[in-house]
Amino acid sequence: MPWSEIGISLVKIALVLFLVLTLVAYLTLAERRISAFIQDRLGPNRVGPFGLLQPLADGLKLIFKEDIIPERANKILYVMAPAFSFITAIIALAVIPIGGGFSTSLFGLLKEPTFIKFQIADINVGLLYVFAIGSLSVYGVVLGGWASNSKYSLLGGLRSAAQMISYELPLGLSILGVVLIAGSLKLGDIVQAQAKLWFVFPQILGFLVFLVSSFAETNRLPFDLPEAEPEIVAGYHTEYSSMKFAMFFMAEYTHMIVASSLIVSLFLGGWYLLPYFGWFGIDIVKYWFLPPLVFIGKVFLILFLFIWVRWTLPRFRYDQIMNLGWKVLFPLAVINIIVTSAVIVFI
């Protein structure tokens, strides 16, 4: 592996980390502003123009805060849990393709033009990788809840574990229809298979199951029982303060970004602008910057949907959540597989 390739990957990784962390910061601002507008308030608008420096102020405030580790907590796990949560959330982004890529010789630095993909790691098992990492994310939450040695934290962690594993089944099953039509687990291939038609149309049932399950997986309302404020204070991060709390917070928002990019690349055509006909003749090799813009625009729309739903719907009861997961979404996802595979085999 030549050094130039490592250099390119380092630049890509730095760019992705920078973009994602900035996006996470501004997502918190967006959440507060949009919730304010939905509730006919103004929201934070004092720090900088339109409150645009608010995330920076929040970050600085959190990093300077007093850090309290409860005396009866398991110290090692208590410190590890937020970091673990954050790491597992952010490394899932490595396989998300935000565009095709472009050829460049880096202004003549390289002898022959290299093709740079808009993706950190284009691995064959991309989708499985995302789901494997997604399953790990439950550990951060449950460890944080258990290690705090507080009753609210423990309850939050337990609820979260049960909810996340319950919704992982429909989540995993609902994408199988997409995998069957695309014939690949590579996310790039799956997006390219949607050039003619977005998968949301042939896979509408799978899409709905996936959408609902990803709301539950990201612990967002109407499924945010792990941190239901009126019942268990703040759930698994009740005892956390300072930067450790911020890490849990960042992990939650990164999960939202991962879920949105997955929804976009699996069902909403990835970097294709319209549901039909791909790029209708625009040469995306020449205009290589268009696909990433389209992809990111779609991700923003889905993120807005996440926030919109949170401030519109009330919270479910816990038994309702479990019933929805096991008795509605799971059978629906299985039916979706059977119907899709029957159509593929018999037609």
Partner 1 sequence: MVSYVNLVIYFCLVVLFAIITLFIAKLIRFRDPNFDPVKLQPYECGEDPVGDAWAKFPVSFYLIALVFVLFDVEVAFIFPWILALPKLGLIAFIEMFIFLFILFLGWIYAFKKGALKWERNQ
Footprint on residues 214-243 left by partner 1 (CB under 8 A): 233, 238-239, 242-243
Q: Is 7 in the site for partner 1 (CB under 8 A)?
A: no
Pick from 38, 202, 318, 332: which binds partner 1 (CB under 8 A)? 318
Q: Is 136 in the site for partner 1 (CB under 8 A)?
A: no
* Tokens describing residue 241: 């303060």
Return the sign of the alpha-carbon dihedral for residues 334, 340, 342, 345: negative
Pick from 30, 143, 161, 302: which binds partner 1 (CB under 8 A)? 161
Could you tell me how many residues make up the chain? Answer: 347
Of the candidate spans 35-43, 176-184, 259-267, 281-289, the one that interacts with partner 1 by CB under 8 A turns out to be: 176-184
* Tokens describing residue 138: 């439950």
Alpha-carbon distance of 283 to 294, in angstroms, equals 15
Characterize 201-231 residue by residue with b for buried, 16 or more Cβ atoms within 10 angstroms of its Cβ, and e for exposed: eebebbbbbbbbbbbbbbbbbbbbbbbbeee
Q: Is 172 in the site for partner 1 (CB under 8 A)?
A: yes
Q: Is 148 in the site for partner 1 (CB under 8 A)?
A: yes
Query: Rounded to the nearest whole angstrom, what is the least distance from the CB of residue 162 to partner 1 in the complex?
Result: 5
CA angle 102, 293, 299 (to 5 degrees): 125
Query: Rounded to the nearest whole angstrom, what is the least distance from the CB of residue 270 to partner 1 in the complex?
Result: 18
- Please identify, using beta-carbon distances, which residue of 16 and 257 lies nearer to partner 1: 16
Q: Is 4 in the site for partner 1 (CB under 8 A)?
A: no
* Tokens describing residue 60: 């600085």
Q: Is 1 in the site for partner 1 (CB under 8 A)?
A: yes
Structural element, H or E, at residue 186 = none
* Closest by CA position to 100, among listed 298, 268, 290: 290
Alpha-carbon distance of 173 to 334, in angstroms, equals 7
Of the candidate spans 97-105, 148-156, 221-229, 283-291, the one that interacts with partner 1 by CB under 8 A turns out to be: 148-156
Of the candidate spans 47-55, 80-88, 257-265, 288-296, the one that interacts with partner 1 by CB under 8 A turns out to be: 80-88
Q: Is 322 in the site for partner 1 (CB under 8 A)?
A: yes
- Please identify, using beta-carbon distances, which residue of 29 and 87 lies nearer to partner 1: 87
Give the SS3 label for residue 101. Answer: strand
Spatial contact of 255 and 137, defined as CB atoms under 8 Å apart: yes
Alpha-carbon distance of 236 to 150, in angstroms, equals 9
Give the SS3 label for residue 99. Answer: strand
Q: Is 179 in the site for partner 1 (CB under 8 A)?
A: yes
Pick from 36, 91, 110, 195: which binds partner 1 (CB under 8 A)? 91
Pick from 276, 327, 328, 339: which binds partner 1 (CB under 8 A)? 327
Give the SS3 label for residue 278. Answer: coil
Pick from 23, 94, 266, 294: which binds partner 1 (CB under 8 A)? 94
In the shown chain, the binding pattern of residues 256 to 295 toward partner 1, with x for contact by CB under 8 A and - for none, equals ----------------------------------------
The residue assigned the tokens 């398991």 is: 74
Transcribe 42-53 into DSSP letters: --S--SSGGGTT
Query: Rounded to the nearest whole angstrom, what is the least distance from the CB of residue 208 to partner 1 in the complex?
Result: 19
Alpha-carbon distance of 84 to 78, in angstroms, equals 10
Spatial contact of 184 and 190, defined as CB atoms under 8 Å apart: yes
Q: Is 11 in the site for partner 1 (CB under 8 A)?
A: no
Pick from 185, 200, 225, 329: which binds partner 1 (CB under 8 A)? 185
Q: Is 128 in the site for partner 1 (CB under 8 A)?
A: yes
Query: Rounded to the nearest whole angstrom, what is the least distance from the CB of residue 149 to partner 1 in the complex?
Result: 5
Of the candidate spans 32-40, 41-49, 147-155, 205-213, the one that interacts with partner 1 by CB under 8 A turns out to be: 147-155
Residues 6+ apart with CB under 8 A from 324: 212, 316
Q: Is 113 in the site for partner 1 (CB under 8 A)?
A: no
Q: Is 213 in the site for partner 1 (CB under 8 A)?
A: no
